[in-house]
Structure 1
Amino acid sequence: MNSNREQERTGFQEGSGYGEKYDLQTDFVMVYGIGPSMPERIRQWAERGYRVHLMTGVSWGGYQDYLNGQFDGREHWDEAQTYQSGETVIHGTSQDVPYMVPTIAYANYLTRKIRPAVDAGVDAIHLEEPEFWVEAGYSEAFKREWQNYYNEPWQDPDGSADAQYRASKLKAYLYTRCLDHLCSALKEYSLVQYGRPLRFYVPTHSLINYTQWRIISPESRLLDIPAINGYIAQIWTGTSRTANVYEGVRAERTFETAFLEYGIMQELVRGTERRMWFLHDPIEDDPKHTWSDYRSNYIKTLAASLLHPGVARYEVSPWPRRVFEGEYPAEDGNGKEGIPADYATVLLTVMHTLSNMDQPDVEIMGNSAKVGVLLADSAMFQRKSPGAQTAGFMMKYDGTNEVELSDEAAIKLLQFSSFYGLTLPLVKHGLAVRPVQLDNIRRFPGYLDDYSVLLLSYEFMKPEYPDIHHALAQWVRAGGALVYVGDDSDPYHEVREWWNQGKRHYRTPREHLFESMGLDPRMPEGMARAGQGAVVYLAVHPEQLAESKEGADQLRSAVRQAMDSLNDPQLHWDASNYFMIRRGPYVVAAVLKESVHSGPLKLSGRYVDLLHPELAVRSEFDVHPEEQAFLYDLDYRPSGRCEIIAASSRIEGFAEEQDHVRFTAFGPGGVRAAMRIRCTAEPAGVKLRVLNQESDIPYVWDARSNTLLVRYSHHAEGVQIRILK
């Protein structure tokens, strides 16, 4: 088990000071908030051996001294994001915590407020959730920023598609500028004052979720800020259970949505030296669900994240205090209850296993065809139909209040079927389609080289630069296959952009793309060759592909046609109802419902079930639709020595002596732990020492696997364990 905290493989965020009941024993902790108690909370966690980071909201927070004029003598309420009605956009339920327009003055304020964290010695700072709501754009501060950015008077974003698109581009720019200012200024301060490098990370929702929830954020623009060192992919049940439509059925599809969300977030670090942590949440922001609901959805997001082997760092929990000390509705509907003991054990087992996921040996089992669907930041820029009354819809969501959707148009907009129509028909038949950041094509040479087939539509997003098409055309001519889906009906095709300005007079960016590939922009549906590659053209709106089985089949047929056009024997797609991957000794599997059949995935061998509270050893394992598995393969390169297979504890000081093996286990005080250990022979006994008092503890020996199970309770000062030979 990995015990090196310097690698910062796992961490959590917490707004409270140290507490032994939620001391998860990860590598680092993100102390949340920049209030007066911040230095003391940093000190407490540092004293417990953690690498300490700071996290604070960059678009909202307890910044009343700035808003009310105590900071610089001027009130700044004109910088609060504002709806067309004049109402302030509020975060959560407190009326004095608005979402902010990130002005230069606001960036200077945050710089001053965060300096004490640098003075207190934090290793890194996380500026979370740079968010500007689609419905906002009416504050005086935003109007001033419009004037400065566009050199023209402000326009009502609701007045036209062009005004909405331009407002959204400005919103993304403003938070890019704010983050660049903050990170650069504080990095310089740290070096000048202390000679100490400081790292900056941005915890952010996925481009998929922000587009679906109608929020503007920098997303891939973060790659253009040199002072940013990486990100946290804020993906969890609350984002991934947002309903979408597949074959005409609207439903929560947590696993499939999470799989796509983690996929697009991986694109922020692919080909760079920046870090990415994938977040999981054992519960979610909405406190109205039961523990069984939280557990089921947590495992879905966990499995979805592990299917992306390019990332091996994790935020194992936001707010562990609310997980291990909180109470939620009881299963029988009577009152509330705390976390079930077996779920607490499983959570800790998973959290500590996650520190060991950086495995050099990775094998995709099943379909391994490299197929991507292109997604651009501009998808966030066209999430409102001018004149449509969608105010109040998904604008105040933070997971703590009920959002009622009664308007059919609002429900349809939220479903984001243009994107899911291009992805769910493939995912549901076992093709691991990966979202690919369109904007990165111009950032990284060879960015598309890993892909054989790409899907693209400009009916819900636009290319921000024409050279994207030159790179796409080159990729196709070199042997790639592009599936383009679109009927040119999107009103945002008419916004003032490069394809219809100056000497360019294209009705849509698709026409320029087709011309770049040497194709007639007026070509009919079907397939055309372009160099060594091909283009398959479906002249339908991608939303239609989500609305029926016929639409889904139409897309699947087009993708198969694109694959066949390349005459590559390695490029095949056998429809299946599962995903599976091996990462070293770890096997992750997920079986889908609404797929080609409803049978289970059958596994045989010798596995330790990492999602079982007693780490059960299994020789036959069935994974049924809507189920996921996280297993340790006991037959994968056994070392021949005594070794810990899995533990719901942080293990320190592991040593093997002539007559015993010893180590110390750390975890949240009082939480029940489990450990499975492989030995060369059944031990003579197991000793446990807590506070200098040693005792024998029972264990269960499994002769088939040469492993023993040990159960114990954590203690704040650690539990010393000796296994006698």
Structure 2
Amino acid sequence: MGSKGPEWTGFQESRPYGPKYDLRTDFVMVYGISDDLPERIQGWKQAGYTIHLMTGVSWGEYQDYLYGRFDGRNHWDEAQVNRAGDQVSHGKDVPYMVPTVSFAEYLATHIKRAIDSGVEAIHMEEPEFWAASGYSEAFKREWRNYYGEDWIPPHSSPDAQYRASKLKAYVYYRALDRICSQMKEYALVHYGRTVRFYVPTHSLINYTQWRIISPEALLVNMPACDGFIAQIWTGTARTANVYKGVRKERTFETAFLEYGVMQELTRGTGREMWFLHDPIEDNPRYTWKDYAYNYRSTVVASLLHPGVSQYEVCPWPWRVFELGYPKEGGSGKEVIPAGYKTSLLTVMNVLRDIHRYDGDVQEGKATTGVGVLLANSAMYQRGDVDPDEDGRKQEFKYDGTSGTEELSEAQQELLDWSAFYGMALPLVKAGIPLRPVQLDNILTFPGYLADYRVLLLSYELMKPEHPGIHQVLGQWVREGGVLIYYGDGSDPFHNVQEWWNRDAGRAYDRPEEHLFESMGLGRNPGEGEHRVGDGAVLYYRQHPAELSRSEEGAEQVRSSVHQALQFRGEQDAYLESGLLHIRRGPYVIAHALDERDAAEPAAQLEGAFVDLFDPELPVLSRVELQPGDDRLLYDLDHPAAQLQDQPVILVSASRIREEQYLEGKLTFVSESPSEMKVSTRIRVPAEPSAVTAGGQPAACAYDPGSKTVLIRYPGVPEGIEIAVNWAE
């Protein structure tokens, strides 16, 4: 594996190099800037990796700063503090920080050490400011400097909470902009090289649901930010939500929406985006069977978004491949099953390969061009608003590392965030590939809405940050788009002091009044359909959270989209399906949706496929998907799988290099972690006469129907030579 080249896949690891978790990706993100950083970098570099560094920007092992050893001043007043006066913590002596200028300067000294050690890219992870915080002395100082007035307790009014949240997003933007710009200059001045800066961040959907504020869309306009890692995994996606009145985990659907909003964040911007998956998660209470089911749901959900072809295949592989997790039935722990290890490495190598087919994407029959608008400001409406000094019912911190058993019903309803899911889930459940669209981007990137026919919008869960947004939406509607608006005007955050109500001469009670007026409909049009140019507005005076509470609410959402398409003269464009699926080259990705009509039959895929989630890589002539099933398949009928003048290595749980075919003999080098069994399936001209791995006979099984052979052999990180012979 070369040390330079494309960076399609990578992983993060805080531990020194280890062969059991050497995943043979393109790059590794060495985590944390400790004294042993140079040694850790050297270990991974010797294994052939391009070296990145990842470190926390909101929390980390920063005790030297907190206790005054850095600059002689104690900085505990910069820890995030909630209304009760408690620090918001990530662990002992590891608080979430208010990103002051001083803290940014401290982080920059660490980044210099990483640049001095030769890393090629820096990942400033998780800029997170909890909605429940905003009460520390440092934040009060930031408030005075930003607003020019004394701090106002965030819980005292919707306006105070909204302003506090905007400030939280700003100070993290400022810190990242300062660090990244300063350190890029440092690398050029001292070493004559460009160091890239990325921001690994949860999705806007997850941060809003978990009640965390982060810069998100602001960073797209930060020149020193080269891209993002979409930190989406089973721990974020299994957060329960409500559909048809039922609260439950919906890992696939939530992940599909999360990956979707992150794809939209960078679409058309030129920024890089890696999608993350995690075979386990931060909550260690689940079994391997549970982890595997949810992992596959996130993988399939991510692959259904073909605008991204770069992946972080695993955070912390050490904990995946070496730690134990509860056995089924609760009797002790067990390390990763051998078969699951093989399956994981197969998927990771598929993820590295899939970019080769970016120009060969075929989406399944579905209603496309439908989006739901979502803005950064959704995060600003998630904090506690209760002037009663004793009222703290909403003060809780949920981050996926524990269950929700301790939450009250009111807290659980707040965590549900049904205003968003009420509009989104009915469409995803109908097999419509809904895209969450980043509202903040439409002013910055011309033509951002061009791919959309129908958009859903509500200002009950967020607010437009600029009146120009309405000019763009209005033009899109006049040119034929249909906007579906849900809102009853009940959200208390309509009264925050923002652009729509600051001008006493033409103040609006709610921002949608400006939207409707700018389209020529007056401030308060009646419910129903309103023609605007070649397009239309469908207005429902209803809070979108209500749509999540019943089957009728879900049906109303679907009917509104059907009506919108009929208005456009596209009577046949509305298609519901029990299957979301896509083809990316030879790879077939599919999810069978559940919570549908119980009488609906299982989905069938006919053809010749290799099952990539099965460690034996079996060949299947028919694939049946029951509701809730996820499948990742290799299509043996695709041109990429056909024999030409030599055998074709179809799929492997290893990284393949030095492939050669001469005189009836195929040789290649296979790289994979140690202490695992590699499965490799090859399409061959005839049944092999001999197969060896490292010079020793290897297990193989020939399938005459598909003319493929499955070879199994031990994993070797530095590579093992495989030879397949046909000659006698």
Fold shared per TM-score above 0.5 = yes
Cα separation, 2, equivalents of 1:708 and 1:655: 17
Matched, 1:74 2:76: no
> Within 5 Å, which residues of 2 pair with 1:490-639?
490-502=491-503, 503-568=505-570, 572-597=573-598, 598-637=600-639, 638-639=642-643
Partner of 2:437: 436
Instruction: Tell me which amino acid in the other structure corresponds to 1:680.
Output: P
Which one of the candidate residues 661, 665, 669 is aligned to 1:664? 669
Cα separation, 2, equivalents of 1:268 and 1:250: 28
Give secondary structure in 2 for the equivalent of 1:629.
Answer: strand
Partner of 1:243: 240
Q: Deviations over 1:381-413 (max 9, x none)?
A: 011341184568542x44444553331111100
Partner of 1:272: 269
Partner of 2:292: 295
Instruction: Tell me which amino acid in the other structure corresponds to 1:198.
Output: V
Matched, 1:221 2:223: no
Partner of 2:158: 161
Cα separation, 2, equivalents of 1:480 and 1:134: 35
Matched, 1:59 2:61: no
Matched, 1:647 2:652: yes
Asked if the contact 1:577–1:596 (Cα under 8 Å) also holds between the matched residues in 2, the reply is no
Cα separation, 2, equivalents of 1:635 and 1:461: 47
Asked if the contact 1:10–1:28 (Cα under 8 Å) also holds between the matched residues in 2, the reply is yes
* 1:441 Cα deviation from its structure 2 partner: 0.8
* 1:683 Cα deviation from its structure 2 partner: 1.6
* 1:464 Cα deviation from its structure 2 partner: 0.3
Cα separation, 2, equivalents of 1:574 and 1:271: 28
Give secondary structure in 1 for the equivalent of 2:442.
Answer: helix
> Within 5 Å, which residues of 2 pair with 1:67-106?
67-91=66-90, 93-94=91-92, 96-106=93-103
Asked if the contact 1:213–1:394 (Cα under 8 Å) also holds between the matched residues in 2, the reply is no
Asked if the contact 2:269–2:445 (Cα under 8 Å) also holds between the matched residues in 1, the reply is no
* Identical-residue share of aligned pairs (%): 56
The verdict on how the C-alpha distance between 1:480 and 1:296 changes in structure 2, with shifts beyond 3 A counting, is: same
Instruction: Tell me which amino acid in the other structure corresponds to 1:663.
Output: F
Which one of the candidate residues 305, 320, 337 is aligned to 2:334? 337
Instruction: Tell me which amino acid in the other structure corresponds to 1:623.
Output: L
Cα separation, 1, equivalents of 2:278 and 2:409: 31
* 1:520 Cα deviation from its structure 2 partner: 2.4
Cα separation, 2, equivalents of 1:393 and 1:155: 18
* 1:41 Cα deviation from its structure 2 partner: 0.4
Partner of 2:409: 408
Q: Which moved more, 1:212-221 or 1:265-274?
A: 265-274
Cα separation, 1, equivalents of 2:4 and 2:296: 25
Cα separation, 2, equivalents of 1:381 and 1:76: 26
Give secondary structure in 1 for the equivalent of 2:113.
Answer: helix
Instruction: Tell me which amino acid in the other structure corresponds to 1:90.
Output: S
> Within 5 Å, which residues of 2 pair with 1:334-413?
334-358=331-355, 359=357, 360-387=359-386, 389-390=391-392, 394-395=396-397, 397-413=398-414
When the two chains are superposed, the root-mean-square deviation of aligned CA atoms in Å is: 1.4
Give secondary structure in 2 for the equivalent of 1:381.
Answer: helix
Partner of 1:205: 202
Instruction: Tell me which amino acid in the other structure corresponds to 2:192.
Output: G
Question: Scaled by the length of structure 1, what TM-score is found?
Answer: 0.97
Q: Deviations over 1:199-221 (max 9, x none)?
A: 00000000000000000000100
Give secondary structure in 2 for the equivalent of 1:7.
Answer: coil
Instruction: Tell me which amino acid in the other structure corresponds to 1:447.
Output: Y
Asked if the contact 1:124–1:201 (Cα under 8 Å) also holds between the matched residues in 2, the reply is yes
Matched, 1:700 2:701: yes
Instruction: Tell me which amino acid in the other structure corresponds to 2:377.
Output: S
Cα separation, 2, equivalents of 1:449 and 1:457: 20
> Which consecutive unaligned segments of at least 5 residues does structure 2 have?
none
Cα separation, 2, equivalents of 1:438 and 1:657: 56
* 1:377 Cα deviation from its structure 2 partner: 0.3
Matched, 1:35 2:40: no
Number of equivalences: 716
* 1:37 Cα deviation from its structure 2 partner: 1.1
Q: Which moved more, 1:328-337 or 1:470-479?
A: 328-337
* 1:534 Cα deviation from its structure 2 partner: 0.6
Instruction: Tell me which amino acid in the other structure corresponds to 2:321.
Output: F
Partner of 1:188: 185
Matched, 1:126 2:111: no
Asked if the contact 1:576–1:595 (Cα under 8 Å) also holds between the matched residues in 2, the reply is no
* 1:87 Cα deviation from its structure 2 partner: 1.1
> Within 5 Å, which residues of 2 pair with 1:411-490?
411-490=412-491
Cα separation, 1, equivalents of 2:7 and 2:367: 30
Question: Scaled by the length of structure 2, what TM-score is found?
Answer: 0.97
Instruction: Tell me which amino acid in the other structure corresponds to 1:375.
Output: L
Cα separation, 2, equivalents of 1:639 and 1:7: 27
Cα separation, 2, equivalents of 1:125 and 1:523: 50
Instruction: Tell me which amino acid in the other structure corresponds to 1:635.
Output: D
Q: Deviations over 1:557-584 (max 9, x none)?
A: 1111111101136x61222111010001
The verdict on how the C-alpha distance between 1:391 and 1:130 changes in structure 2, with shifts beyond 3 A counting, is: farther
Cα separation, 1, equivalents of 2:419 and 2:394: 23
Cα separation, 2, equivalents of 1:411 and 1:427: 23
Cα separation, 2, equivalents of 1:463 and 1:84: 28
Give secondary structure in 2 for the equivalent of 1:535.
Answer: strand
Cα separation, 2, equivalents of 1:680 and 1:252: 47
* 1:75 Cα deviation from its structure 2 partner: 0.7
Instruction: Tell me which amino acid in the other structure corresponds to 1:622.
Output: E
Instruction: Tell me which amino acid in the other structure corresponds to 1:242.
Output: T
* 1:274 Cα deviation from its structure 2 partner: 1.2
Cα separation, 2, equivalents of 1:430 and 1:140: 49
Partner of 2:253: 256
Q: Deviations over 1:174-216 (max 9, x none)?
A: 0000000010011000000000110000000000000000000
Cα separation, 1, equivalents of 2:681 and 2:257: 33
Give secondary structure in 1 for the equivalent of 2:156.
Answer: coil
Partner of 1:136: 133
Asked if the contact 1:390–1:410 (Cα under 8 Å) also holds between the matched residues in 2, the reply is no
* 1:368 Cα deviation from its structure 2 partner: 3.9
Cα separation, 2, equivalents of 1:704 and 1:226: 55
Asked if the contact 1:459–1:541 (Cα under 8 Å) also holds between the matched residues in 2, the reply is yes
Partner of 1:313: 310
Asked if the contact 2:669–2:721 (Cα under 8 Å) also holds between the matched residues in 1, the reply is yes
* 1:20 Cα deviation from its structure 2 partner: 0.5
Give secondary structure in 1 for the equivalent of 2:199.
Answer: strand
Instruction: Tell me which amino acid in the other structure corresponds to 2:29.
Output: M
* 1:425 Cα deviation from its structure 2 partner: 0.7
Partner of 2:19: 20
Cα separation, 2, equivalents of 1:639 and 1:716: 29
* 1:4 Cα deviation from its structure 2 partner: 9.0
* 1:715 Cα deviation from its structure 2 partner: 2.4
The verdict on how the C-alpha distance between 1:352 and 1:255 changes in structure 2, with shifts beyond 3 A counting, is: same
Give secondary structure in 2 for the equivalent of 1:562.
Answer: helix
Partner of 1:682: 687
* 1:670 Cα deviation from its structure 2 partner: 1.3
* 1:303 Cα deviation from its structure 2 partner: 0.3
